Every structure is written in C-alpha cells, then in structure tokens.
Copies of this chain bind each other. A is one copy, B any other.
Amino acid sequence: MMTSNNKSSSFVRIAAAQINTTVGDLAGNTRKIIDHIQRAKAEHVQILTFPELAICGYPPKDLLLKTRFISDQMERLDEIIPLTNGLLVVVGLAIREGDSYNAAAVIHDGSLIGVARKVGLPNYHVFDEKRYFARGEFLSVFHLDVANVGVLICEDLWHPETVANMASTGVDLIVGISASPFSVERCIEREILIRSRCQDHTVGMVFCNQIGSQDELIFDGRSMVVTPHGRIVAQGKAFCEDLVIGDIRFEEIHRGRLAVPIQRDTVPTETPGREAVRIIHSDGMTDPPHRSDFSLDISRNPFLPKSIEMKYDPVEDAYNALVLGVRDYVRKNGFENAVIGLSGGIDSALTATIAVDALGSDHVFGVSMPSRFSSEHSKDDAAQLAANLGIGYKQFPIETVFATYLRLFEAEFSERDADITEENLQARIRGNILMALSNKFGYLVLATGNKSELAVGYSTLYGDMCGGLAVIGDVPKTWVYEMARFRNRLAGTALIPENTIRKPPSAELRENQLDADSLPAYDVLDGILHAYIDQDCSVDEIVELGYDGMLTRQIVNLVDRAEYKRRQAAIVLRVTSKAFGSDRRLPVTNKYHA
C-alpha cells in the first residue's frame, strides 16, 4: 500500500482534486471522482481530497429534503470505496445519521474509516445550511501511518478556535474541503486566512475548493497545499479543473505537533472544545472523545489589510469568473447556443464578449433590434462588435410591431401623453423577439443589464430583463467600463468598439434620451449604491460619507421601488460580496426607506 511504502520516504504527496461538479448529477460527479482517483494513483499521491459535497454538488438546496437524495449519495460512495487501494481519500457528501449532516467521508485503502461532520453551518449571505443540516458535535482526527490528519469542512476553517482545537490534538495535516464561492475580495482573503492558520499552529494543510458555477454562485478553485510555515507548495488554477499535487517533507509535516504552544483558555460555546475531538485510527477504531477544557490562544487577526496584497487583479478575476459562469450555466442546463440583443451600448457588448469567451463565436448570436429612436452609430457599433467577435448577427427592426401596438392602443391612450409606457413597450418587443428566437432555435437568452441599472430599476421587466441569466447583473456600471478596457487590452485591439466605450450611455427609448438625464454620473451612483446595497448603510450614513442628501434619498427610493422587478429578474452571476438574489432578501412590500 502506497502510504505504508512511503512511510519512511522523505515526503508526503498530497493532492486536491478541484473538480467541476454538477448539482444533482450523482452519477456524473462520481465518475469524475473515480477518474481523479485513478489519475492521483498514477501520480503516486498518498492523500487525495475532493471538495465539500462533491458527490451531490454544492449547493443542492431543497434537493436535500427529497426523500432519497441523501441515501442515493451513500450508494455512490459505495462505488468509490473499493477503488481507493493505496491511498487516503476525503470526499464531501451529505449523510443522514438521525439528522442530516454536511460531511466528509474518509476512505483509506479500500475501507471507509470514518466520517467528519461540519460543525459551523453558515446561514448568512447566500448560505442556508441550518435549513438542511444539524451541527456536528465533534471534530474528527484520523491517526494514520502516514500522518495524523484532521478533517475540517469549509466554514470550520474560518473559525480560529475550531482550527486551534483541531491543531491542539497534534495533527500533522489538516484536510480542508470547501465550496467557497468566488467574489473579487473573497479569494485573496481566503488565501491569506489559510496560510495564517497554518503558520499560527505550525500545521500543514490541503485546501480543496470546488470550481465551476451553480446558478448564481461561481467557484474559483485555487486549491492549495500549504506547509506548516504557511508556504504554498502547490496551487490550483483559477476557474478551471485541476489536480493540484504538492509534496510536503515528512519531517516538516511532523514538526507541527512539537511546535504548537498550548495554553489554558476558554472555548466559545458555539465551537467544539478539545474534549469534542474524536480520534479515529486507520482500522476505523475510535478513541472516546477525551475530556479536557484547555484550548489555544488565538489573538492575532488573520486578515492583512487589503492593500498589502494585490496578487489577483479583481477586474481580470471578475471577467474570468463570468466566463466560467456563462459556460457552466449554458452547458449544465443543456444549451449549446446563446442569443443576445446588441444595442450598440457597452453592457450588451461586454455581455457578448464574455459569452464568446465562454462558448465560442459559433455559439453566440447577436441580434440588433433598432427602433425609430436608435441612432445610426448604435446600429453601426452593434454590427462592428459582431464582426469583431465573429458571431452570427441579424437585424430585426421593431418599428412595424411598435407601430401596430400603438394603433391597438390608439383609442385607449388618446388622451394621454407618451410616457414610460411606450418606452417599456419597445423594450418588451425586443424581449419577445429574443424569446421567439430562443423558442424556435433553442438559444438561451442572456440578459445584459448591469448591477447599477438593476439597482435603480433602470430596466424593463419582461423587456431587457428577459433571459435565463443576467451575466453582468452583479457588475456596477463603473466596473463594466473597466472590464471592457481589460478585455480590449488582452485582445490588443478594440474588440469592443472604442465608440461603444466612449459615447454617453443611452437607452434610446425616446428622442435624444441619455442616462445622464435621469441618473447622476455613474461613479457617484455606484458609490451611493455600494453604501446602500453592499453595506446596508442608512441614508444618514451615506450622507456622512459625503454624498448629497437629496440625491441619496432619490437613489434610495429608486432602489426600494425596484424590488418587485428584481424579484422576477434572471439569475444574477455573483462576483461581489453582495449580489442581487439569494444574497439580499428584501421584502417587496416594504415601507422602510431610512
């Protein structure tokens, strides 16, 4: 057996298989796990890890309430177990033992030797784990020939006391399995945190993170093998599958046990103390939890100020995240092709560019739907973009349909002025055209609205909000420009036409309309929106930040009044720390506007 053979060798070979699972695809995910076990064996890996809930995909949401969903996972685990000869495999799945648990199966040399349960269940932001899971009452340490291995699941790594308790048992290596959603800030915070945990306790770690996208959530991977001194010896790629293999010297990995400073302290009640650590041996035998009441002193803040590390470019990261988000949403839902309404503006241009990077130019179709209010440059810019991207392109002028609608309403509307009705009608005709093409040819419609527009309701429900996926719905308008410029730099040419980037934004739904007629400059708007939406600030607090009071109140009212539109919006791919959707659950009926 591999682990025994290597006991006397100078290193332990550890791997994180950051795989792209699909929620509910138990058979497909299991095939992928087995494939990576074979690959890892060929690479002489001794400890192989898979992401959190790898067998069912993360997050499975209410599938977990279906009568057989959990037991079906156990059947898949039974397929995996016999294939693990010669190595230790840790794989995430949901289990039921009385209650349901978010768990990690620990399989050693063909036998299931134990199951670790997740203790800290996130129930904030996009997470609802307390809806589904009971809290694990103990931490699990596995005493193996090759090393003493502690297994933690995602959130448990974030809690310093939990890691401290685990480390205090003298583990050589912490296996952390995770499904940690991407946001532009999160990925660097996570890396700093993991390295800090290793340094704090002089313990090695393999951190295995899911990659792929599931509805609104994007997972970036970037798994790591980290030494007890916080050095990353191997790191997974971002936004794609990877078998991340790292060797840690045997002497180094065993140093942790000796170096850890033990100190008497109290343990917060929500975190299992050292007495709750259960030790499991490689034969599957379990030591009774040992009673004691000491723990480690963890005083230093694991977060460095953000300015210190700029390892990842947030604009590049966000762009690549959206490419993965589009690809996975389209393909995992059984589509091959996407259709996008091209207005000549920057939002649809960026959306189309992302779609081409995700699906290939043969699988993206651009549709221009000019109206009586569309400028010539809009039509030109849309055609130019399509040519630059090499995508199929058609024009469907909406004038005849629009005119027919106006005649239908002629008597009814005769005593009223033209207003938002006629503007929305144009947007809805365009939505109908895109949906008709979707129905006839099986294209998925991609919505093109950005976060700033969605926030203030500067978008038409059932019009430009049509589509299965709002690609840039979590990208503020100021970032839209950044991402467009980033992509052009990468291309070394104006893939997105310069005129599209430079011209003042307009919905072109009435004569000479400009965004600037209704909204402040986008940097001001995005500043207010960030404080109100991402930070939950009150109007007074936003004014204290230096924004105009009347403007702030006006923007806040727009945001609040548009809640009903967002409730019916397409799924928004999440790239910031607070996206519209499951991250932000406001009532539609609401009279609080402070």
Residues of chain A at the chain B interface (Cβ within 8 Å): 22-26, 28, 56, 59-63, 65-69, 72, 123-124, 128, 130-131, 214-215, 328-329, 332-333, 394, 396, 400-401, 404-405, 407-409, 412-413, 416, 419-421, 424-425, 428-429, 431-433, 435-437, 439-440, 461-462, 466, 468, 536-538, 540-541, 564, 567-571, 584-594
Contacts and interface: CB of A to CB of B under 8 A. Distances in A.
B63 A592 contact: yes
A589 B439 contact: no
A173 B502 CA distance: 71
A241 to B, nearest CB: 17
B589 A61 contact: no
A462 B435 contact: yes
A462 B407 CA distance: 22
Contacts of A593: 24
A219 B513 CA distance: 45
Nearest to A539: B68
Contacts of A69: 592, 594
B584 A62 contact: yes
A591 B25 contact: yes
A432 B439 contact: no
A435 B440 contact: no
Given A25-B592, A400-B408, A541-B67, A425 B419 contact: no
Contacts of A72: 592, 594
Given A24-B590, A130-B130, 19 more contacts: A23-B589, A28-B591, A59-B587, A62-B584, A63-B586, A63-B592, A72-B594, A123-B128, A215-B588, A400-B404, A400-B408, A404-B404, A405-B436, A409-B440, A419-B439, A421-B440, A428-B435, A429-B432, A432-B432
Contacts of A404: 400-401, 404
A394 B124 CA distance: 48
Contacts of A405: 401, 432, 436
Contacts of A413: 440
A63 B131 CA distance: 20
5 contacts: A25-B592, A59-B587, A405-B436, A428-B428, A462-B466
A124 B64 CA distance: 12
B400 A421 contact: no
Contact of A440 (B66, B419, B462): B419
A543 to B, nearest CB: 13
A586 B62 contact: yes
B433 A416 contact: no
Nearest to A397: B408
